[in-house]
Amino acid sequence: MTTVRATVEIFGQRLGLRADGDEARVQEIARFVDLRMREVADRSSSVDTVKIAVLTALNIADELFQERETDQDSRQKRLEKQAKRLTTKIEEAMKPGTTGKEN
Protein backbone atom coordinates (compact mmCIF):
# COMPACT_ATOMS: atom_id res chain seq x y z
CA MET A 1 0.00 0.00 0.00
CA THR A 2 1.21 3.51 -0.78
CA THR A 3 2.10 5.93 2.00
CA VAL A 4 0.69 9.42 1.51
CA ARG A 5 1.22 12.72 3.25
CA ALA A 6 -1.75 14.93 3.91
CA THR A 7 -2.53 18.06 5.88
CA VAL A 8 -5.89 17.89 7.63
CA GLU A 9 -7.79 20.13 9.99
CA ILE A 10 -9.54 18.61 12.97
CA PHE A 11 -11.29 20.78 15.54
CA GLY A 12 -9.33 23.85 14.50
CA GLN A 13 -5.95 22.11 14.55
CA ARG A 14 -3.94 21.63 11.36
CA LEU A 15 -2.10 18.34 11.36
CA GLY A 16 0.41 16.88 8.94
CA LEU A 17 -0.18 13.16 8.60
CA ARG A 18 1.49 10.25 6.91
CA ALA A 19 -0.79 7.27 6.34
CA ASP A 20 -1.28 4.20 4.19
CA GLY A 21 -3.90 4.56 1.48
CA ASP A 22 -4.90 7.57 -0.50
CA GLU A 23 -5.21 11.21 0.47
CA ALA A 24 -8.94 11.38 -0.24
CA ARG A 25 -9.58 8.66 2.34
CA VAL A 26 -7.37 10.43 4.90
CA GLN A 27 -9.31 13.66 4.31
CA GLU A 28 -12.64 11.82 4.64
CA ILE A 29 -11.59 10.26 7.95
CA ALA A 30 -10.35 13.62 9.23
CA ARG A 31 -13.70 15.25 8.33
CA PHE A 32 -15.50 12.44 10.18
CA VAL A 33 -13.39 12.92 13.33
CA ASP A 34 -13.79 16.71 13.12
CA LEU A 35 -17.58 16.38 12.84
CA ARG A 36 -17.73 13.96 15.76
CA MET A 37 -15.58 16.21 17.95
CA ARG A 38 -17.82 19.17 17.16
CA GLU A 39 -20.89 17.09 18.08
CA VAL A 40 -19.31 16.10 21.40
CA ALA A 41 -18.28 19.70 22.07
CA ASP A 42 -21.85 20.90 21.42
CA ARG A 43 -23.18 18.41 24.00
CA SER A 44 -20.41 18.98 26.54
CA SER A 45 -19.84 21.80 28.95
CA SER A 46 -16.08 21.30 28.65
CA VAL A 47 -13.94 23.50 26.45
CA ASP A 48 -10.84 21.36 27.03
CA THR A 49 -9.83 20.03 23.62
CA VAL A 50 -8.11 16.98 25.13
CA LYS A 51 -11.25 15.98 27.06
CA ILE A 52 -13.38 16.45 23.95
CA ALA A 53 -10.92 14.33 21.93
CA VAL A 54 -10.97 11.55 24.55
CA LEU A 55 -14.77 11.58 24.75
CA THR A 56 -14.94 11.46 20.95
CA ALA A 57 -12.49 8.55 20.85
CA LEU A 58 -14.58 6.69 23.44
CA ASN A 59 -17.77 7.28 21.44
CA ILE A 60 -16.19 6.05 18.21
CA ALA A 61 -14.67 3.02 20.00
CA ASP A 62 -18.08 2.18 21.49
CA GLU A 63 -19.64 2.24 18.02
CA LEU A 64 -16.85 0.00 16.71
CA PHE A 65 -17.35 -2.53 19.52
CA GLN A 66 -21.12 -2.55 18.95
CA GLU A 67 -20.57 -3.13 15.22
CA ARG A 68 -18.17 -6.00 15.93
CA GLU A 69 -20.67 -7.60 18.32
CA THR A 70 -23.44 -7.30 15.71
CA ASP A 71 -21.21 -8.89 13.07
CA GLN A 72 -20.31 -11.70 15.46
CA ASP A 73 -23.98 -12.32 16.31
CA SER A 74 -24.85 -12.45 12.61
CA ARG A 75 -22.02 -14.91 11.90
CA GLN A 76 -23.09 -17.07 14.83
CA LYS A 77 -26.70 -17.19 13.63
CA ARG A 78 -25.60 -18.03 10.08
CA LEU A 79 -23.36 -20.86 11.33
CA GLU A 80 -26.14 -22.26 13.52
CA LYS A 81 -28.50 -22.25 10.54
CA GLN A 82 -25.94 -24.06 8.37
CA ALA A 83 -25.30 -26.62 11.13
CA LYS A 84 -29.03 -27.34 11.41
CA ARG A 85 -29.29 -27.82 7.63
CA LEU A 86 -26.33 -30.18 7.61
CA THR A 87 -27.71 -32.13 10.57
CA THR A 88 -31.03 -32.54 8.77
CA LYS A 89 -29.28 -33.75 5.61
CA ILE A 90 -27.21 -36.25 7.58
CA GLU A 91 -30.27 -37.55 9.42
CA GLU A 92 -32.14 -37.91 6.13
CA ALA A 93 -29.20 -39.77 4.57
CA MET A 94 -29.03 -42.17 7.52
CA LYS A 95 -32.71 -43.21 7.33
CA PRO A 96 -33.19 -46.82 6.18
CA GLY A 97 -33.90 -47.11 2.45
CA THR A 98 -32.29 -43.77 1.62
CA THR A 99 -29.44 -43.69 -0.91
CA GLY A 100 -28.10 -40.38 0.37
CA LYS A 101 -28.67 -38.68 -2.99
CA GLU A 102 -30.88 -35.63 -3.23
CA ASN A 103 -33.81 -35.67 -5.64
The whole-angstrom separation of Cα 87 and Cα 65 is: 33
Instruction: Indicate the domain borders of the chain.
Output: 3-94
Which pLDDT does position 25 carry in this prediction?
A: 93
How high is the pLDDT of residue 98? 60
SS3 per-residue string spanning 53-96: HHHHHHHHHHHHHHHHHHHHHHHHHHHHHHHHHHHHHHHHHHCC
- What is the pLDDT, as a whole number, of residue 8? 96
Q: What is the pLDDT of residues 15-74, one digit of tens each?
A: 999 999 899 999 999 999 999 999 999 998 888 999 999 999 999 999 999 888 888 888
User: Partners of 9 in the beta sheet?
Assistant: 14
pLDDT tens digits for 83-97? 988 888 888 888 887
Phi, psi of 100 (to 5 degrees): 90, -5
